[in-house]
Chains A and B, each alone.
Chain A
Amino acid sequence: MPDFCGIALAHPVINASGTYDAIAARKVFGDALLEEFPFSAFVSKTITPEPRIGNAPQRIWETPAGMINSIGLPNKGLEGFLEQDLPQLAELPVPLIVSVMATGRAEFAKLVEAVAGRDEVAGIELNVSCPNVHSGLIVGEQPTETEALLETLRPLTEKPLIVKLTPNVANPEAVALAAEEGGADAVSLINTLKASAIDPGTGAPALAAGHGGLSGPAVRPVALHQLRTVRAAVELPLIGMGGVSSGADAAEFLVAGATLVAVGTESFRDPQAGARIAKELETGVYGARSGVAALDLE
């Protein structure tokens, strides 16, 4: 059983923020979702201080072995989340990590205080890397900004603070190091890679926002490299993600030094992908083939 920042988890596979709406999925699939919950911890979609409706369509675009999205963080805002969503997420059979994002340190602090104060919340992920919202890019791109943000937030809670890194920088390890210096408990990576597509039918950008973030198997080698780079720079536990679709993929990240692996886009193709990947890791079917059969997940 992996221990992640003092939280005991049944297996090392969780979801990437913003890729699984457990409340909607429960309406679609019923309580079978709870009985066979695919992840060992659940990371919420990012919440912001005020409600957001998200970006205009078109929001997604299929690419070779992946997709580009520009969803724009639609959410009910802090108040709506606490009143409407949190009670439902608390019914999930796994620890809850809430992803938060704000445009400034004071707003970030307000979110962290409010969320960390709830017993239902086991940890908080700081979204400093979302490429769709201008402010997120700035903090996550600058080591000094990241360290200053952590220094503001660290005194507010003893619960784990996870910094989600953007891959859209030359030196992600510098930002990871800054997060560590500032008092973060863990680092998760990667968020999506900045990407564009042209609609061949119109000759115009395929996404209404003009650009978005690339995810899926196409980004996995990039993600794995960044994880190895960050692993070499910091002592913190890491959550690795980026195109993980199988146990063999997940094993790559674990071998490279991740404590947990997050699944995102693959859940769109297979709503039970998290459980399947955890099982593939456990049985080592793929691991044996790829030479990581001896991987000790205990």
Chain B
Amino acid sequence: MSAPFGRRLCEVAANKTSGGYRIFSLLDREGPAPDPGQFYMLASERSWGEGGGRPYLPRAISVAETAPAKAGLRLDFLVEGVGPGTDRLCELKPGEGVWVAGPLGNSFSTPKEVNPDAAGAILVGGGIGIAPMAIWRRHLVERGIPLRVLLGFRNQEHSGGLNELFCAGDTLCPDVRLATEDGHTGHQGYVTDLLATMLAGDDATSAVVYSCGPPAMLEAVRALCAENDVACELALESPMACGFGACFGCAVPKPDGGYMRLCVDGPVVRGDAIAEVAHA
């Protein structure tokens, strides 16, 4: 389904702290429900570009969850303030306006769409990249598809969203395993340690891996899946000015040469459709 043409003003319904992150909700009265993996271009109505400063360009943010709302759809976004744009989004106040374009980009494929023999899904999220894993997890659960969720964080300061996105009541959902580099909760180490162990097991070869997170983690996920002959879909991130194919800024190298535009050819890409996930 096409996104509504142009951008529209949505009202901030809520914005709260979640660990080291913020979760804010917008009330969207016009757009179709997004598919898991899709993103929106967001810019606050005020204090964004006017006055000659930054932020200037809208920011591409994956949707973390949706829910029916009075006269529309509630869109939830998980953000961490890492620059002028995300800092501004973290400060959104209920009632103020946000310019929204989307839903944009493609979305995750079901395990059987990726591999007809696939029996289940393994979701691997890192840091702020747990966001699209949340909405995808819910969709998979609703379809009765078996899944495991592996989530990793650097440390307590750079973590959040679990209570709102991966808990039933006060308890972490039973399909979710955690890894933290500082060991403050869950396995001490990388989330990809958990994935490596899981892929070494017999039942994992019939799973499809879905992942979103920092580039180094995504590259590790891609390489692990390639080694174990397991298909994967990765939700990538790239600098992006427009989100609808106009700016050609979000180039990602393809294995056979040339580039794809992540906004219209992604943000979800098959592990074997890219050369590697570029990371510092």
Query: Which B residues are in CB contact (< 8 Å) with A30?
Result: 2, 5
**CA of A60 to CA of B261, assembled, Å:** 13
Given contacts A28-B104, A69-B249, contact A58 B239 (CB under 8 A): yes
How far is B245's CA from A18's CA once the two chains are assembled, in angstroms? 11
Interface size on A, residues (CB 8 A): 43
User: B6–A62 contact, CB under 8 A?
Assistant: no
Produce 1/0 per residue, A25-66, CB < 8 A to B: 101111011001000000000000000011111111111111
Which residues of chain B (3-54) have a CB below 8 Å from chain A? 3-7, 43, 49, 52-54
- Picked from A53, A217, A272, the residue with its CB within 8 Å of the CB of B5 is A272
Q: Residues 243-267 of chain B: 1 if any A CB is under 8 Å from the residue's CB, otherwise 0?
A: 0111111111100011101001000
Closest to B240 in A: A60
**Complex contact B6–A270 (CB within 8 A):** yes
Given A66-B56, A216-B56, A60 and B247 contact (CB-CB distance below 8 Å): yes
Q: Which of A28, A60, A269 contacts B264 (CB 8 A)?
A: A28
Nearest B-chain residue to A70, judged by Cβ: B249
Query: Are A269 and B54 interface neighbours, CB within 8 A?
Result: no
Is B7 in contact with A54, judged by CB distance below 8 angstroms?
no
Within 8 A of A (CB), among B52-74: 52-58
Task: State whether the Cβ of A21 lies closer than 8 Å to any Cβ in chain B.
Answer: yes
A59 touches B248 (CB 8 A): yes
Contact A62 B259 (CB under 8 A): no
Among candidates A21, A63, A67, residue contacting B246 with C-beta atoms closer than 8 Å = A21
In contact, B43 and A64 (Cβ under 8 angstroms): no
Q: Is B217 an interface residue (CB 8 A)?
A: no
In the assembled complex, B140 has its CB within 8 A of some CB on chain A:
no
A-B residue pairs in contact (CB < 8 Å), sample of 11: A36-B6, A56-B251, A57-B259, A58-B239, A60-B249, A67-B57, A268-B241, A268-B247, A271-B5, A271-B7, A272-B6
Using A23-B245, A60-B247, A64-B53 as known contacts, list a sample of 11 further A-B pairs with CB atoms less than 8 Å apart, ordered by residue number in A. A24-B245, A28-B2, A53-B258, A54-B248, A54-B259, A56-B253, A57-B239, A57-B278, A62-B241, A64-B56, A269-B7
